[in-house]
Amino acid sequence: MSIGIGSLFLVALVSTFMGAVTTVQTAFNMVSSFIPDYVISQVVREMIVLELAPTIIAVIYAGKVGSSMASGLGTMRITEQIDALEVMGINSISYLVLPKIIASLMMYPMLVIIAGVCGILGGYLAGTLTGIVSPNDFVYGLRSSYNEFTITFALIKSFVFAFLVASISSYKGYNTKGGALEVGISSTQAVTTSVIAVLIADYLLAQLLLAQ
Amino acid sequence: MIKIENITKSFGDKLVINHISGVFEKGKPNLIIGASGTGKSVLLKSIVGLMKPDIGEVFYDGRNFYGSDRDTKIEIRRELGMLFQGGALFDSKNVEKNVMFPLDVLTKMSLAEKQERVNFCLQRVGLENVNSKMPSEISGGMKKRVGIARAIVNTPNYLFCDEPNSGLDPQTSIVIDDLIQDISEDLDITTIVVTHDMNSVMGIGERIMFIYKGEKLWEGTKNDITHSGVKELDDFVFANKVMNSLRGT
């Protein structure tokens, strides 16, 4: 639970501002008066659902939850807590790592859904409160040309990213050797490697599932 | 009884343990001594199965640990208790939950039975009214005692202690040593203690194995250690100023 609840505020904050900024920047780039205003919310919807909610939140998730997993397991490793489990005849990977991966697979998609909602809400507020787009146009744009596969795609990405972040961070933490300095190094490596893996997976999934 | 045969372990090109054999008897503490970096802890980890030796076998009352299948290894491990150098208490659990942990995962005891057993073990190591304290709230000596309570809570047949006195004051060290000796005798279990503390050696050294640069150079008791005739052991023993002042007396 702490994996999801602990990240909720940051995810909501970041995604709300992402949505707001996307709205303002899309409006700024629409120079032709032939393009109707509701296109702004269509762009916001696609950007948030397809890319910003699952991927940017995964980068934040890797920084917050991934580093916490790696440093927690790394500390357990260097203080011999993992050895203590092994001596008791307990499979430390099953006991420590598996629950983290399962919790991540359960909580991260929920965070992505919340991020999507907050992002679109942020876009709506930024667009309507500043007069960029009327509330009716924004809602109309959200509902027009809607392809439900984008939601499925975002959820597939969220499951893949959740698995990557949790497993890479756990691996780095679990295999920490040395002392406090190495725990910090493991934590940094966990974030860096997770982010790279997320970006590569992001491209591969787009190529596999969206390419015509 | 634990018997080890030809335990050899190297890390890369560095030979850390070189063909060490020996027998550790039950009912009294068996000490593995030597200077820092001689391979004592690696030997202990090889015995408990945390570090697989390159060559060699470990027999727990005749059961070959490294030659056993997975289930037998788990069965043997459930008969082990270990006190780690820093206590290795789980940071996220309080003292009671730490001590109760082996019972939670390895037994089907009721909560009341577990509670009773935990309180008994905490009393046995001289700790009371600390059940709800977190490991960060107790002293180093108390952590070691909680570690001992956790190690004995599931009534092990074999107890391992890695540098039980490191970082402790002399008085607390004596308390820990006495506790280890009493537990070994009362429970009639095989206890192996890795230490470089001469006070421990002279206090509870009923059987001592001296390791020097990864090799076993001497075996004996605390009564023989001061006149072993082994130069390396003499250098180790009489490096202590108090021991040195007693030299020749």
Looking at chain A, which residue has its C-alpha nearest residue B160? A87
Amino acid in position B11: F
Q: Is the pLDDT of residue A3 over 80?
A: no
pLDDT category of residue A35 using cuts at 50, 70 and 90: confident
Q: Looking at per-residue confidence, does B219 or A6 come out higher?
A: B219
Looking at chain A, which residue has its C-alpha nearest residue B152? A88
Best residue in A1, A79, A92 for a mutation probing chain B (most B CBs within 10 Å)? A79
Q: Does A89 touch chain B (CB under 8 A)?
A: yes
Place of tokens 């540098």: B163
Predicted pLDDT at B187: 87
Q: Residues 6 or more apart from B239 whose CB is under 8 A from it?
A: none
- Cβ-nearest to A81 among B78, B88, B160: B88
Q: Residues 6 or more apart from B33 whose CB is under 8 A from it?
A: B40, B194, B195, B196, B201, B205, B208, B209, B210, B211, B236
| Domains: count for chain A | 1
Give the count of Cβ contacts less than 8 A between chain A and B: 52
What are the residue ranges spanned by the domains of chain B? 1-79+158-220, 89-155
Beta bridge partners of B208: B31, B220
Angular region, A160: left φ>0, alpha ψ -120 to 50, beta rest: alpha
Is the Cβ pair A89, B77 closer than 8 Å? yes
Q: Is the pLDDT of residue A135 over 90?
A: yes
Q: Does B155 touch chain A (CB under 8 A)?
A: no
The shortest C-alpha distance from A183 to chain B (Å) reads 16
**Chain B contacts of A90, Cβ < 8 Å?**
105-106
**What number is the ipTM of this complex?**
0.86
Predicted pLDDT at B248: 57
Residue A97 near residue A175, CB atoms below 8 Å: no
Q: What is the pLDDT along chain B (249 residues), one digit of tens a residue?
A: 999 999 999 999 999 999 999 999 988 889 999 988 899 999 999 999 999 999 999 999 999 999 999 889 888 988 999 999 888 999 999 999 999 999 998 889 999 999 999 999 999 888 888 999 999 999 888 998 899 999 999 889 999 999 888 878 888 888 888 888 888 888 899 999 999 888 888 888 889 999 999 999 999 988 888 887 888 888 888 876 666 666 655
Looking at chain B, which residue has its C-alpha nearest residue A84? B88
Q: Does A75 touch chain B (CB under 8 A)?
A: yes
What is the span of the domain harbouring residue A9? 2-209
Is the Cβ pair A90, B105 closer than 8 Å? yes
Share of chain A above pLDDT 70, in %: 99
**Chain A contacts of B149, Cβ < 8 Å?**
none
What helix, strand, coil percent values describe chain A, rounded to 5?
85, 0, 15
Q: pTM for this one? A: 0.85
Tokens describing residue A87 = 């001596």
Superfamily of the domain at B1-79+158-220:
P-loop containing nucleotide triphosphate hydrolases (3.40.50.300)
**Chain B contacts of A2, Cβ < 8 Å?**
none
Q: Does A98 touch chain B (CB under 8 A)?
A: no
CA A96 to chain centre: 23
Alpha-carbon dihedral angle through residues A114, A119, A122, A126, given to the nearest 10 degrees = -170
Closest CA to A68 of A116, A130, A18, A5: A5
Q: Does A86 touch chain B (CB under 8 A)?
A: yes
Provide mean pLDDT across the span A159-182.
96
Q: Does B134 touch chain A (CB under 8 A)?
A: no
3-state secondary structure chain B: CEEEEEEEEEECCEEEEEEEEEEECCCCEEEEECCCCCCHHHHHHHHHCCCCCCEEEEEECCEECCCCCHHHHHHHHCCEEEECCCCCCCCCCCHHHHHHHHHHHHCCCCHHHHHHHHHHHHHHCCCCCCCCCCHHHCCHHHHHHHHHHHHHCCCCCEEEEECCCCCCCHHHHHHHHHHHHHHHHHHCCEEEEEECCHHHHHHHCCEEEEEECCEEEEEECCCCHHHCCCHHHHHHHCCCHHHHHCCCC
